[in-house]
Amino acid sequence: MFAYAVRRVLATIPVMAIVALFVFSLLYIAPGDPAAVIAGDQATPQDVERIRASLGLDRPFLVRFGEWVWNILNGDMGVSIFTNLPVTTMIQQRIEPTVSLMVLTLCLAVSIAVPMGVIAAWKQGSWIDRAVMGFAVLGFSVPVFVVGYVLAYIFALELDWLPVQGYTKFEEGFFPWLENLILPSIALGGVYIALIARITRATMLEVLQQDYIRTARAKGAGQRNILFLHALKNAAVPIVTVIGIGIALLIGGAVVTESVFAIPGLGRLTVDAILRRDYPVIQGVVLLFSFVYVLVNLVIDLAYTLFDPRIRY
Amino acid sequence: MHRRSLLGGAAALPAAALSTASLPTASLAQPANARVLKFVPQANLTSLDPIWTTANVTRNHAWLVYDVLYGMDARFQPQPQMAAGHTVEDEGRAWTFTLRDGLRFHDGEPVRATDCVASLRRWMKRNPNGQKIEPLVDELVALDDRRLRFRLKRAFPRLLASLANPSNPAAFIMPERIARTDPFQQIRETVGSGPFRFLPREYNSGSFVAYERNPDYQPISSGAASLTAGPKVAHFDRIEWHIITDAATAAAALQAGEIDWYEQPSPEIQQLFRRNRQIVVEPIDILPNPAILRFNHLHPPFNDKKIRQALLPAVDQSDYMTAIVGPDPAGFSSMGIFTPGTPLANDAGMGALLGPRSIDRSKALLREAGYANQPIRLIGPTDILAPAALTQVAVDMFRKLEVNLDFVLTDWGSVIQRRASREPVEKGGWSTFLTAFSSFEFADPAGNFPLRGNGAAAWFGWPTIPRLEELRDAWFDAPDIEAQQRLAREIQLTALDEVPYIPVGAYLSMTSLRRNLSGRVPGFALFWNLKRS
């Protein structure tokens, strides 16, 4: 398995290279000019030209791309055109809120969705099953930002139980940290819960039809043992796969959720950078997201061996 | 149940079990918070250099951190700030400025005349007034630590007004080592001598900016606070800028009391705030912001003066303003070339803008002018409130005129790149766009850059109108306000005949604060004298 893991890690290198080329090319041909954004509305065209030249944005594509790749290989993601801060520093400033939001959402979603799916499968056709499926449809259909606004209105404005917006660092205390993340996690987790619950239900229904489940029942195994010990473990591979795929969903959702709840995370950094054409920041963040996604998929692949002993690498 | 008792209660259980020492901390937190002002700015603070960029949000940041030799009061009169005074000799060709005693930068260093000289040299490269002054300067030197002298080739009566101009970029004073930075490159340190000190360690662009009161700042002892002039008294120990890009979230935060001041709420959100007794909605500036429809003078059809003139009867300023601020006429005013309420605003030639409005008349004029159905490309944003609203009205107007319209709506970042294109429409160029400005920028011909008629060097649209340039030069040399006002009338008549752009009205920009704040200085987001009652 170690050799497999090493091979997979090495395989990420060409993937990342293609991502890098794609992102750089896309930004090069996309409309927009950071020099014009910097100069502001009152600047003359001459001012804009001089700022563009001072930023090196008037140099040919290959020169800029080559320089960027060389710097990346040397661990330097460049400096933000606007803030003059290193991209790595800006990512460091923003990574904690995003990781916090995603981890909390993941924990919340898995701990709610998996039991929901299992129970729905167990009680197939009952009102519980219909309620779970109804919730899943709702989770898929209602946009994250609508859920966010509704939650903020009820729990922050009307009830005053939780803050409307913002983020408190974990080092400043667990409860202040949690207080700021509850509503965003629920908002972001809705679609994720729906997805995992549906897959869990479908897979469990299939597993519960298997002969070995009937045998377990015949031998007098308890319902809880059958569901969570025998059936769920065998249904785990597709569920874990969906959880992995859902990370991309979370990354996309985090961009919206962070904007709605004013959380200073990587999602907002990405949107802000795109709007003002801060090329080094966009490139750095997209590369990071791609790397995380590749890594998560690797971890998911390796996790299969824990649930299914027949899988060997 | 309220928020403090939800998770706060949960947090208190283990804390109470361990120690009671946390109680005094909690009780001290309240007054400390009362000395903190939480503000949501109009946009993210991406750049910290007010000379490098002309973004208004950076200007607002700069007025917290930096000070100027002369401030401008609400009557557009320069008043001493860092300067104790000045003398004028040699028939207006030699100006000597003396600094106040005890001025210090935030790094503890005294403010010296050499710092002012370096700062003014950098400012002259980027500010329209400064660009006018620079070629006239024979010598700009520090005579000693407290005195600096301008020696000019000829008298320039507007020197003081130029130094006091609050428009982008203002003549902010920085330490010499920072001010020596190329004006087209960004400074790397933020050190001023203003009433608040920037806290770089807490700066998180896109999220959070913090300032603390400068304990060494000495407000001038005379006069009243007015725009950027008068005593600047810092009543808060700390100013926090919370960058909240989502308007609904910012609105909810203000209603919940999580923030104190939301700089630029949209009209819909203002309606919401007006129903809340804890929130005040008021004009941030007593002067309105001008808005314009700009033409590309390089290519057909708007390279033809008669076609530009033909559009005048179709423009109903109230339509454009209603789209931005709603139907309440108190929220906007009609305007000519200069900001209403400023000394140069006048009524010369205003019949062209305020006479009977008629789409049919415009259609007839277009036919007479020989409009041959050439494509007209209107470019506009969807993500910036005022220009987006103006663009929608213009689309409707051009459709009613039945011209060959092609409108491109995109984000502001793309618009400002595209408007720099000098190519014809068929090669990706543009014909017209709409935008809005701060009131101060259109207060005089120096700041009103769309008025320039200097061709290739002019603002986007590049009109060549030598007469406007002559009048502008004459205005700079006008000896008194009466002469300036005479020239302003002539400028307005010329502009409404040549039509470098069409003014589409001026609107009051509203701001929203918690009711317990008082003492705000009108103008833009200024933080001195503001206090919590």
Whether residues A268 and B383 touch (CB distance < 8 A) is answered with no
Question: Is residue B23 scored above 60 in pLDDT?
Answer: no
Residue A304 makes CB contacts below 8 A (sequence gap 6+) with A237, A240, A311
Identify whether the C-beta of residue B311 lies closer than 8 Å to the C-beta of residue B488. Answer: no
Tens of pLDDT, residue by residue over B49-73, are 999 888 889 999 999 999 999 999 9
- N- to C-terminal Cα distance for chain B? 27
Q: What is the reported pLDDT for A68?
A: 87
Question: Is residue B440 scored above 90 in pLDDT?
Answer: no
Query: Which residue in B40, B168, B243, B416 has the most chain A C-beta atoms within 10 A of its own C-beta, making it the best mutation to test that interface?
Result: B416
- Quick one: how far is CA B529 from the chain centroid? 20
Report the alpha-carbon distance of residue B416 to residue A146 in Å, rounded.
31
Residues A243, A97, single domain; the answer is yes
Residues A277, A173, single domain; the answer is yes
* Average pLDDT rounded to a whole number, residues A213-242: 85
* Average pLDDT rounded to a whole number, residues A135-164: 92
Q: What is the reported pLDDT for B3?
A: 52
Q: What is the reported pLDDT for B11?
A: 45
DSSP state of B171: -
Q: What is the reported pLDDT for B32?
A: 63
Which has the higher per-residue pLDDT, B480 or A244? B480
Note which residues in 199-258 of chain A have CB less than 8 A from chain B: none
Whether residues A33 and B459 touch (CB distance < 8 A) is answered with no
Tell me which chain A residues have a C-beta less than 8 angstroms from the C-beta of B168: 40, 42
Question: Is residue B140 scored above 60 in pLDDT?
Answer: yes
Q: What is the mean pLDDT of chain B?
A: 91
Residues B131, B146, single domain; the answer is yes
C-alpha dihedral sign at A24, B411, B383, B341: positive
Whether residues B52 and A38 touch (CB distance < 8 A) is answered with yes
The answer to whether residue B102 sits within a structural domain is yes
Domain residues for the domain of B159 are 66-179
- Quick one: how far is CA B246 from the chain centroid? 22
Helices (H), B499-531: none
Question: Is residue B19 scored above 50 in pLDDT?
Answer: no
Residues B447, B336, single domain; the answer is yes
Residues B351, B224, single domain; the answer is no
Report the alpha-carbon distance of residue B315 to residue B317 in Å, rounded.
6
Question: Is residue B276 scored above 60 in pLDDT?
Answer: yes
Q: What is the reported pLDDT for B1?
A: 45
Q: What is the reported pLDDT for A240?
A: 86
* Average pLDDT rounded to a whole number, residues A147-155: 94
| Percent over 90 (pLDDT), chain B | 79
Closest CB to B420 among A33, A271, A275: A33
Report the alpha-carbon distance of residue B273 to residue B259 in Å, rounded.
14
Tell me the CB-side half-sphere exposure of residue A137, using CA atoms within 13 A.
5
Report the alpha-carbon distance of residue B82 to residue B214 in Å, rounded.
15
Tens of pLDDT, residue by residue over B245-260, are 889 999 999 999 999 9
Q: What is the mean pLDDT of chain A?
A: 87
- Amino acid identity for residue A139 in this structure: G
Residues B298, B423, single domain; the answer is yes
- Amino acid identity for residue A81 in this structure: I
Tell me which chain B residues have a C-beta less than 8 angstroms from the C-beta of A269: 206
Closest CB to B2 among A43, A90, A160: A160
Which has the higher per-residue pLDDT, B29 or B111? B111
Closest CB to B53 among A39, A163, A261: A39
- Nearest-neighbour CA in chain B from A106: distance (Å): 21
Count of domains forming chain A? 2
Q: What is the reported pLDDT for A243?
A: 86
| Percent over 90 (pLDDT), chain A | 40
Report the alpha-carbon distance of residue B277 to residue B267 in Å, rounded.
17
Report the alpha-carbon distance of residue B343 to residue B328 in Å, rounded.
25
Task: List residues bridging with B139 in a β-sheet.
Answer: B151
Tens of pLDDT, residue by residue over A249-284, are 788 888 899 999 999 999 999 988 888 888 889 989
The answer to whether residue B187 sits within a structural domain is no
- Nearest-neighbour CA in chain A from B410: distance (Å): 10
- Amino acid identity for residue B70 in this structure: Y
Question: Is residue B517 scored above 80 in pLDDT?
Answer: yes
Report the alpha-carbon distance of residue A131 to residue A120 in Å, rounded.
9
Question: Is residue B25 scored above 70 in pLDDT?
Answer: no
Residues B200, B342, single domain; the answer is no
Tell me which chain A residues have a C-beta less than 8 angstroms from the C-beta of B47: 38, 82-83
Residues B353, B262, single domain; the answer is no
**Cα dihedral A250→A252→A254→A258 (10° resolution):** -170
Judge whether B437 is closer than 8 Å to chain A, CB to CB.
yes
The strand ranges marked E within B41-120 are 70-72, 78-80, 83-89, 94-99
Report the alpha-carbon distance of residue B529 to residue B225 in Å, rounded.
8
Note which residues in 129-188 of chain A have CB less than 8 A from chain B: 149, 152-153, 156-157, 159-166, 173-176, 178-179
**What ipTM did this prediction achieve?**
0.78
Residues B235, B272, single domain; the answer is yes
DSSP state of B237: S
Residues A251, A283, single domain; the answer is yes
Report the alpha-carbon distance of residue B395 to residue B385 in Å, rounded.
16
* Residue from B204, B192, B243 nearest B50 by CA: B192
Question: Is residue A176 scored above 90 in pLDDT?
Answer: yes
Tens of pLDDT, residue by residue over B338-375, are 999 999 999 999 999 999 999 999 999 999 999 999 99
Residues B470, B329, single domain; the answer is yes
Residues B116, B167, single domain; the answer is yes
Residues B228, B310, single domain; the answer is no
- Nearest-neighbour CA in chain B from A275: distance (Å): 6
Residues B322, B275, single domain; the answer is no
